């Protein structure tokens, strides 16, 4: 007897650990599975110091989120555990985020968190608790294909979170479930929470990075790496000095505001020269880029050599048509049909074929493009 999660057991005999963050999505996930008769266990991870986190609208607040998760578990009548993963989160996510910024990249800590703490460590915890599956509140879908579990975009394009889950491995997908992936709107999710009278039914979504509640990334990075905030020159593409800056950690590719260059035509950050401590600026058209080199690719499908695909180079961008070329050593070359602007090293490039996620990897600095391409030829 296969249940609604595709597991060959009655629902009552199927233990599902739910990653409960204290938000409405994970809470509705737990409620939905409980409603369907599964043996549900809630687990919440304490990821950073609850005493240091400031509570503001639209941000995570560790203490309140843990309290909310516990209140939801009590309302549903399910066991709930809070696990201290602060040291692991600091090592694998916060310090990784800071190192990436120091290297002149624009990191995505949510991907690092999913890749390490949630889908590596929490998955292990779920197995230790005797679970048959780990469920999360992500808006993605999972289906069984000819070669095993496949990852699909969420049914609601506005809520699709597949970009942030590209690093999920095939082995992890075998164990993971995403009950909200087929929801067509957030209203459906809130309706589940309201039906079960959960205290978080009206809770607002978190929008900022959980461990930087005030949005000051540079302060976090300089605190961990004091030498990173060294001043330098702002130059144009020819090397002409246009001004000075207080440290490259204050800038990202595509940035226009805050350059302090006075009048004249608008200028944008084109590149960050870490070794030379220079911020390279230029006109908007100079941001156009059609060729993207990608490292550390996680393949969930994809070509042996080349394949026409769609790719997403930012979480906020729609997928764009491109040619994907597979290289050696988990690298890939992407050639976009139309150039895009603001493609930044450290961001993810995720590959799609229709609704299926074929994988993705990390965008390499344009300064390394030529070398990477020669190695793959």
Beta 133-135 vs 176-177: how paired, if at all? parallel
Calpha distance 45→40 (Å, rounded): 16
- Choice among 55, 60, 61, 113 that is catalytic: 113
Question: Dihedrals φ, ψ of 95, to 5°?
Answer: -70, -35
DSSP-assigned letters across all residues of 122-177: IHHHHHHTT-SEEE---SEEEEEETTEEEEEE-SSTTT--GGGGTT--HHHHHHEE
CA–CA distances in Å: residue 303 to residues 46, 174, 333, 351: 39, 22, 12, 11
Instruction: Clarify whether 210 is annotated catalytic.
Output: yes
CA–CA distances in Å: residue 27 to residues 34, 141, 357, 362, 376: 11, 18, 26, 31, 46
Question: Dihedrals φ, ψ of 359, to 5°?
Answer: 135, -160
Calpha distance 97→322 (Å, rounded): 29
Give me the residues paired with residue 282 across strands.
268
Terminal-residue alpha carbon distance, the chain? 51
- For residue 13, which of 32, 41, 36, 38 has the smallest C-alpha distance? 38
CA–CA distances in Å: residue 319 to residues 117, 307, 316, 347: 27, 15, 10, 15
The residues annotated as belonging to the active site are 113, 210
């Amino acid at each position: 007897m296969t249940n609604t999660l595709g597991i060959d057991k009655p629902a009552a005999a199927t233990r599902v650990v739910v990653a409960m963050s204290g938000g409405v999505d994970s809470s509705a996930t737990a409620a939905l599975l409980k409603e369907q008769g599964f043996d549900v266990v809630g687990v919440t991870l304490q990821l950073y110091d609850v005493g240091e986190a400031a509570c503001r609208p639209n941000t995570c607040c560790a203490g309140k989120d843990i309290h909310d998760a516990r209140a939801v578990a009590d309302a549903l009548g399910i066991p709930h555990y809070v696990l201290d993963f602060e040291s692991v989160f600091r090592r694998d996510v916060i310090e990784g985020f800071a190192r990436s910024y120091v290297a002149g990249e624009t990191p995505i800590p949510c991907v690092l968190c999913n890749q390490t703490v949630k889908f590596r460590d929490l998955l292990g915890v779920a197995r230790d608790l005797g679970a048959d599956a780990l469920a999360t509140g992500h808006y993605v879908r999972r289906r069984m294909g000819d070669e095993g579990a496949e990852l699909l975009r969420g049914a609601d394009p506005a809520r699709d979170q597949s970009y942030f889950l590209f690093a999920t491995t095939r082995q992890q997908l075998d164990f993971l479930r995403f009950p909200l992936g087929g929801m067509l709107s957030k209203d459906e999710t809130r309706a589940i929470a309201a039906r079960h009278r959960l205290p978080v039914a009206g809770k607002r979504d978190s929008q900022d990075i959980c461990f930087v509640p005030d949005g000051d990334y540079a302060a976090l990075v300089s605190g961990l790496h004091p030498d990173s905030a060294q001043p330098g020159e702002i130059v144009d593409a020819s090397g002409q000095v246009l001004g000075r800056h207080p440290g490259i950690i204050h800038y990202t590719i595509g940035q226009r505001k805050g350059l302090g260059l006075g009048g004249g035509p608008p200028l944008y950050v084109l590149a960050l020269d870490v070794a030379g401590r220079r911020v390279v600026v230029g006109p908007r058209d100079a941001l156009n880029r059609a060729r993207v080199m990608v490292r550390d690719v996680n393949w969930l499908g994809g070509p042996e050599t080349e394949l026409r695909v769609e790719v997403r180079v930012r979480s906020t961008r729609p997928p764009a048509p491109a040619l994907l070329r597979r290289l050696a050593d988990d690298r890939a070359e992407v050639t976009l049909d139309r150039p895009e602007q603001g493609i930044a090293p450290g961001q993810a490039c995720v590959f799609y074929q229709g609704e299926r996620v074929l994988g993705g990897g990390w965008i390499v600095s344009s300064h390394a493009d030529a070398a990477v391409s020669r190695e793959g030829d």
